[in-house]
Amino acid sequence: MKKFIYGFVIGAVLAFPMGINFGKDVPLLSNPFAAKPDIPSRIVERTGDLLQETKETIHEATKPVQEQMKK
The residues spanned by each domain of the chain are 2-70
Alpha-carbon distance of 50 to 46, in angstroms, equals 6
Average pLDDT over the chain, rounded to an integer: 85
Backbone dihedral angles phi then psi of residue 28, each to the nearest 5 degrees: -60, -35
Alpha-carbon distance of 31 to 5, in angstroms, equals 26
Question: What local confidence, expressed as pLDDT, does residue 35 receive?
Answer: 64
Alpha-carbon distance of 65 to 58, in angstroms, equals 12
Q: Are 48 and 55 in contact (CB under 8 A)?
A: no
Question: What local confidence, expressed as pLDDT, does residue 8 receive?
Answer: 95
Alpha-carbon distance of 52 to 61, in angstroms, equals 14
Task: Check whether 7 has a pLDDT greater than 70.
Answer: yes
